[in-house]
Amino acid sequence: AQSVTQLDSQVPVFEEAPVELRCNYSSSVSVYLFWYVQYPNQGLQLLLKYLSGSTLVKGINGFEAEFNKSQTSFHLRKPSVHISDTAEYFCAVAQTAGGTSYGKLTFGQGTILTVHP
Amino acid sequence: EAGVAQSPRYKIIEKRQSVAFWCNPISGHATLYWYQQILGQGPKLLIQFQNNGVVDDSQLPKDRFSAERLKGVDSTLKIQPAKLEDSAVYLCASSLGWGSYEQYFGPGTRLTVT
């Protein structure tokens, strides 16, 4: 079984400032890692994913995340945020292979990012 | 390409009533998921279908929840009877199938049980 902990429930930041949303995970097997964004009254949209290869992953809207296996973390970053980035962000993991858990996403509890002008 | 469609978008019912939600996945997507998202929490998987077969329903409260995907395309999730704690957003997602980890989500149905 795996679990995901998002260390901050809310992150307020001013426009054009950098931001980091923190995510730690726990798993007894190898996992794939994801960040999703949810705008008000909408479904989840994939921001980026780590499946293999370079530990620095770039996604849409200028976001990037770094996979750190030793620290079991997958923090999301953006060097300069915009008002339009205000949303809730979810970190998720999926078991890489085997059994009925294949492809199943386990989500963290979410981080609300609020960008102030 | 059309996205995942869900209806209704909002539903208010009284406890002990029944309710049904509908989902139409992206065309060609073999895998369909239903998630429950309680306010302030991340989505929790209720059931996963591969074509019209159930892959994982370990977290589905089977005494009151049921789901079907009869023709391997659209799906219905039903709650009967509803409880206050069922108030949540019900999200449907789809993916191409085995080996595809990218899930595409619908807008969700917000259920309020009074």
| Residue B11 counted as domain residue | no
CATH code: domain of residue B50: 2.60.40.10
Question: Residue A100's domain is classified under what CATH number?
Answer: 2.60.40.10
Inside any domain, residue B34: yes
More confident residue, B24 or A96: B24
The structural domain count of chain A equals: 1
Whether B114 is covered by a domain: the verdict is no
pLDDT in tens, A41-91: 888 999 999 988 889 999 999 999 999 999 999 999 999 999 999 999 999
A82-107 exposure pattern, b = at least 16 Cβ within 10 A, e = fewer = eeebbbbbbbbbbbbeeeebbbbbbb
Which amino acid is it at A101?
S
Nearest CA in chain B to A107: B42
Q: Which residues of A fall within a CB distance of 8 Å from B108?
A: 42-43
Three-state secondary-structure class, residue A36: strand
User: What is the count of structural domains for chain B?
Assistant: 1
Confidence band, pLDDT 50/70/90 cuts, at residue A99: low
Residues paired with residue B91 on neighbouring β-strands, in sequence order: B35
Cβ distance B108 to A43 less than 8 Å, yes or no, reads yes
Going residue by residue through chain B (114 aa), what tens digit of pLDDT does each one get?
689 999 999 999 999 999 999 999 999 999 999 999 999 899 999 999 998 899 889 999 999 999 999 888 999 999 999 999 999 999 999 998 766 778 999 999 999 999
Q: Which residues of A touch B53 (CB under 8 A)?
A: none
Residue A112's domain comprises 2-116
**Residue A88 is encoded by which pair of tokens?**
């809730």
Residues A38/A102, Cβ–Cβ less than 8 Å: no
Q: B105 at the A interface (CB within 8 A)?
A: yes
Helix, strand, coil share of chain B (percent; to 5): 5, 50, 50
The pLDDT value given to residue B57:
93
Give B10→chain A minimum CA distance, Å. 10
Q: Which of A43, A94, A102 lies nearest to residue B105, judging by beta carbons?
A: A43
- Provide the residue count of chain A: 117
For B46, nearest residue in chain A (alpha carbons): A104
